[in-house]
Structure 1
Amino acid sequence: MVSITEGKHERFFIDFAWEKDGHIRSYRLGLEEVFEGKYLDTLFVPLQGQAFLLVGCGKEKELGLLEVREILAAAASKCREMKIRECSVDISRFAEVLGKDAVIQSVMGLELGSYTYSFTGKEEDDACSFQLERISDMEDMEELIAEAEELVKGIRFARDTVNTPGNHLRPMDFDRCITGFVKDVEIEAQTFVYGQLRAMGMEALYGIGGSSEYPPCLLILRYRGNPESDEIYGLIGKGVTCDTGGYCLKGSKSMAGIKGDMAGAAAVAGAMHAIAAGKLKVNVTACLPLCENRISQSAFLPGDVITGYGGKTIEILNTDAEGRLVLSDAVSYGIKDEKITKILDIATLTGAVWSALGYTIAGSMSDDDHFYELFEKGLVHSAEKYLRFPFGREHRKMIKSDVADVKNVGADCCGSITAGLFIREFCEGKPWIHLDIAGTAWCDTPSFAFESKGATGAGVTSLYYMMKEAQNEG
């Protein structure tokens, strides 16, 4: 919990030390000889009646929003370890260097630094309450803290659902989790169940989902923050709650992570709640195909040809490339029935992306520079990292089929690019962005202090800030 105080807590303080030319500068303490201020180092200093937790910030010239979040997360983690229940934090220097975004990132760091997943849902009783000392020239600190808390809520929701064991989060369970999560904001939710998907002709979604005894569904979330505008942004999130690979069965080393293939849908749900809670002046429709991918008598076989909801025929050559299939139906529905005008899809889509970029940078693609610039403007505030992949005519040729309009895998190379281009085939020429978070949505070994083993909540902040920037687009 984070609040604002006009004064300082009587006993515990978090203080910050900066490494500079072999020396440190600390706000209150002079401990240059015993603490060098190296990045994320900590030192607990007990004094008579008071105590300071000193946190190293590294070189000030290297400070960015990600570093602010990580420094505060390291502080929160240490407070939890030492069972400190309440302390005062002065973040004025961060705000002086980086502005209001530093307040938001500080709060997010303090909240996420103590995150742990509990399957039982039991509340932790050792959480620390942090009091931010008011920054004298910043009148809207309460609003900034509230915005940060909403983003944390979305990230926690994404982490919790992705971390949930697969046998406790079937597609319809996930649907109920999301609809319950957004119930307190002005979002309209509608669910299409298995029988409706068949009647509608969503052969890709009900075909993949029909391989499981736990039926698939399509969840639609509608937020209308600017009813005077015809612009409707579509957020399409992959929600495969269990992915065995189907008849193209995954290897044994990959099986442990099959419960987390719905991180895209979780990120969209987390962002949608923050968008609606913040009453952003944009119109957003989320289309979330939720299903399992298993082996059964009804499961797709390599070589099968189906017709997607958009009318295109699809040759299925790899049943483990199921995410792009269910996303294609969701994209087509969003365009035809929800009248979305710009499309962003997000998914844990390819192993190729983490082979290329690792666990801290996600892949992205777009066919519209102006639309992508909107996303990049959001990244300035989100503190997430994406690398935009190029593509050309030669890549589009890789997914042309001899027996259908398109095939769901390309050549042995460029797997992330051809996966994105498959989804683009169903966008009907509308501006499109594709985010592949297969590497960043999960971490066995955390890369940052604000992460914990398991789900990261990747994508929530970037989607939110993109929509916040979109308010200026009209």
Structure 2
Amino acid sequence: MISVDNFKKCAFKIAFVYEDEDMNTLPLNIRKIFNKKYKTNIPFIEENNVPVLYVGLGERSKFSFKKIKDIVAYSIKQIEKYSIEDVSLDISTFLKEYDIRCVSEIVLGVKLGLYKFKGYNTSKKQEKYNIFFQGYESCDEESIMEEIKLGSNIAEGVILARDLVNTPANMLTPIIMAEKIADMGKVAGVTVEVFDENYIMNTCMEAFYTVGKSSGNPPRLIVLRYLQDPSSKDITALVGKGVTCDTGGYCLKPSGSMEGIKGDMGGGAAVVGAIYSLAKNKIKANVVGIIPACENRISRESFIPGDVINSMAGKTIEVLNTDAEGRLILADAVTYAIQKENATKIIDIATLTGAVVNAIGFSTAGVLTNNNEFFKEFKEAYSKSCEQYWRFPICDEHRDMIKSDIADIKNIGKSYCGTITAGLFIEQFVENTPWIHLDIAGTAWVDTPLYEYQAKGATGAGVTSMYYLFDEKE
């Protein structure tokens, strides 16, 4: 629980100090032993017997809005070491430097810093903490409470995405995923419609169905509709890859890569989390989420390298790698967005290529786009979310790499430029619609967290950036 109370005496208090701050602001006993560098801390018992954890922010000139979430998550994790449930957080330092929106970042730091996947350990207890914000002007209390609510709803969207990705594949088949999303829709006020394999086949989504038919768990097309801006005809489709189990098919993944195959629906999970947060915060927008959910397994029904398949757009596809299945299902989902949901803009998001990790690592996601203005809007959004993205170039020679001799297009290119050619495969199906492609293969999962607000496993990548694309409040 997070709330505000300037006067509550808690068993534990957290205060933040800049490295170059006047030393007189600190108790005499710790001035000489606390260097106040970024992510350092020192506990101290004040005269009123209240324990205070002083946390260093480093040099003021090097601190930024982007670091708020990280340092708060670092600080809040310390309370676990002391087994204390009630904590007061002095937010005055941040309020002096930044506008009231920093409160939602503080909330994200608290909630994501404390996040742990509940899992299935029946003996594990879920710990609860009461966090009280202090150090604000009484006239700001109403605004701060509103920001706490907004930040909490965004954090819940990220946590929802994390929980979906962290769930084992046997407990999140396409059918179960659809049921969970339908339940979320009822809570958030989002219309959710689920289409079965018969609809997928009858709608000529052959590329999608070809991947999904290999499993005993049939595919599902999950559509979320949040249409809350009647004054606008614009509809943005968020299309998320929903492969709940990806063995690679007949192009079987190596054994060392099998541990992460449950997380290949990180794009779909991000779509769910973003729309949940938009609905909970009642953002005025028209957004449709489209998640082609399926499993990529091996069976006698599985597609194999060399097959030529059709698509909803009528384009034929030469399959050269069955582990490049994500772009196949996204192709049909993008076509569905245009033809059935009247999308005027499209963002597709997927854990699509290992090539993006080789290019830019685990802290940054890849972007391709066909529209500079749309990308400018998204760039403003991710500058607010503090996620990192890098735009890849698009050239005709890249498009030439996926030309097929026997079909309209093939599903892989050369042994290089893999992130670009994967995105350009999807581009072939967006027609003239403004489009952004997000490859989050490197950022959707961490074995060793890069930031304090991450935990081992799913990160919820993409949720906050897509949210801020529609929440234009400064």
- Whether these two folds match at TM > 0.5 is yes
Alignment of 1:230-269 (within 5 A): 230-269=233-272
Kindly state the Cα deviation for residue 134 of structure 1 after the two structures are TM-superposed: 5.4
* 1:290 matched to 2:299: no
Map of 1:437 onto structure 2: 440
Map of 2:36 onto structure 1: 37
Map of 1:61 onto structure 2: 61
| Partner Cα separation in structure 1 for residue 127 and residue 201 of structure 2 | 49
| Partner Cα separation in structure 1 for residue 313 and residue 293 of structure 2 | 18
* 1:368 matched to 2:371: yes
Q: CA RMSD in A?
A: 1.7
Alignment of 1:319-330 (within 5 A): 319-330=322-333
| Partner Cα separation in structure 1 for residue 53 and residue 127 of structure 2 | 17
| Partner Cα separation in structure 2 for residue 377 and residue 415 of structure 1 | 27
Map of 1:73 onto structure 2: 73
Kindly state the Cα deviation for residue 247 of structure 1 after the two structures are TM-superposed: 0.6
Secondary structure of residue in 2 paired with 1:19: coil
List gaps (5 residues or longer) in structure 1. Answer: none
| Partner Cα separation in structure 1 for residue 131 and residue 9 of structure 2 | 9
Which of 174, 186, 191 is the aligned partner of 1:188?
A: 191
Alignment of 1:92-103 (within 5 A): 92-103=92-103
Kindly state the Cα deviation for residue 46 of structure 1 after the two structures are TM-superposed: 2.8
Amino acid corresponding to residue 398 of structure 1 in structure 2: M
Kindly state the Cα deviation for residue 178 of structure 1 after the two structures are TM-superposed: 1.3
Secondary structure of residue in 1 paired with 2:356: helix
| 1:80 and 1:126 in contact (8 A); partners too | no
| 1:263 and 1:348 in contact (8 A); partners too | yes
* 1:4 matched to 2:8: no
Map of 2:308 onto structure 1: 305
Render the CA deviation track for 1:231-270: whole Å, top value 9, x for unaligned: 0001000010000000111111111100000010001100
Amino acid corresponding to residue 386 of structure 1 in structure 2: Y
| Partner Cα separation in structure 1 for residue 162 and residue 64 of structure 2 | 24
Which of 419, 424, 431 is the aligned partner of 1:416?
A: 419
Amino acid corresponding to residue 191 of structure 2 in structure 1: E
Amino acid corresponding to residue 33 of structure 2 in structure 1: V
| Partner Cα separation in structure 2 for residue 104 and residue 25 of structure 1 | 29
Is 275-284 or 118-127 further displaced after alignment?
118-127
Map of 2:110 onto structure 1: 110
Secondary structure of residue in 1 paired with 2:147: helix
Map of 1:143 onto structure 2: 146
Render the CA deviation track for 1:156-188: whole Å, top value 9, x for unaligned: 111111111111111111111111112122311
When residues 66 and 121 of structure 1 are mapped into structure 2, their CA distance, relative to the original with a 3 A threshold, is farther
Secondary structure of residue in 2 paired with 1:45: strand
| Partner Cα separation in structure 2 for residue 325 and residue 184 of structure 1 | 32
When residues 29 and 309 of structure 1 are mapped into structure 2, their CA distance, relative to the original with a 3 A threshold, is farther
| Partner Cα separation in structure 2 for residue 370 and residue 79 of structure 1 | 44
Is 342-351 or 139-148 further displaced after alignment?
139-148
* 1:166 matched to 2:164: no
When residues 24 and 233 of structure 1 are mapped into structure 2, their CA distance, relative to the original with a 3 A threshold, is same
| Partner Cα separation in structure 2 for residue 135 and residue 220 of structure 1 | 42
| Partner Cα separation in structure 1 for residue 208 and residue 67 of structure 2 | 41
Amino acid corresponding to residue 278 of structure 2 in structure 1: I
| 1:13 and 1:52 in contact (8 A); partners too | yes
Q: How many residues align?
A: 469
When residues 26 and 341 of structure 1 are mapped into structure 2, their CA distance, relative to the original with a 3 A threshold, is farther
| Partner Cα separation in structure 2 for residue 344 and residue 331 of structure 1 | 9
Kindly state the Cα deviation for residue 311 of structure 1 after the two structures are TM-superposed: 1.1
Taking structure 1 as the reference length, the TM-score comes to 0.96
| 1:76 and 1:128 in contact (8 A); partners too | no
List gaps (5 residues or longer) in structure 2. Answer: none
| Partner Cα separation in structure 2 for residue 391 and residue 252 of structure 1 | 33
| Partner Cα separation in structure 2 for residue 461 and residue 311 of structure 1 | 34
Kindly state the Cα deviation for residue 25 of structure 1 after the two structures are TM-superposed: 4.9
| Partner Cα separation in structure 1 for residue 175 and residue 188 of structure 2 | 21
Is 175-184 or 244-253 further displaced after alignment?
175-184
Kindly state the Cα deviation for residue 26 of structure 1 after the two structures are TM-superposed: 7.8
Amino acid corresponding to residue 57 of structure 2 in structure 1: C
Kindly state the Cα deviation for residue 464 of structure 1 after the two structures are TM-superposed: 0.2
Which of 167, 170, 177 is the aligned partner of 2:180?
A: 177
| Partner Cα separation in structure 2 for residue 26 and residue 167 of structure 1 | 58
* 1:132 matched to 2:133: yes
| 1:437 and 1:458 in contact (8 A); partners too | yes
Secondary structure of residue in 2 paired with 1:434: strand
| 1:9 and 1:131 in contact (8 A); partners too | no
* 1:349 matched to 2:352: yes
| 1:198 and 1:206 in contact (8 A); partners too | yes
When residues 67 and 26 of structure 1 are mapped into structure 2, their CA distance, relative to the original with a 3 A threshold, is farther
Is 57-66 or 77-86 further displaced after alignment?
57-66
Secondary structure of residue in 2 paired with 1:182: helix
Identity of aligned residues (%): 44
Secondary structure of residue in 2 paired with 1:53: strand
| Partner Cα separation in structure 2 for residue 233 and residue 25 of structure 1 | 52
Secondary structure of residue in 1 paired with 2:305: coil
Amino acid corresponding to residue 95 of structure 1 in structure 2: L
Render the CA deviation track for 1:32-80: whole Å, top value 9, x for unaligned: 2111111111222234521001111111212223311111101111102
Kindly state the Cα deviation for residue 10 of structure 1 after the two structures are TM-superposed: 4.3
- Runs ≥4 in structure 1, deviation > 6 angstroms? none
Secondary structure of residue in 2 paired with 1:140: helix
Secondary structure of residue in 1 paired with 2:188: coil
| 2:246 and 2:297 in contact (8 A); partners too | yes
Alignment of 1:374-389 (within 5 A): 374-389=377-392
| 2:264 and 2:351 in contact (8 A); partners too | yes
When residues 309 and 91 of structure 1 are mapped into structure 2, their CA distance, relative to the original with a 3 A threshold, is same
| Partner Cα separation in structure 1 for residue 135 and residue 179 of structure 2 | 40
Render the CA deviation track for 1:77-123: whole Å, top value 9, x for unaligned: 11022111112112122122232231111111111111111213878
| Partner Cα separation in structure 1 for residue 189 and residue 121 of structure 2 | 26
Secondary structure of residue in 1 paired with 2:469: helix
Is 24-33 or 74-83 further displaced after alignment?
24-33
Is 197-206 or 89-98 further displaced after alignment?
89-98
When residues 25 and 293 of structure 1 are mapped into structure 2, their CA distance, relative to the original with a 3 A threshold, is farther
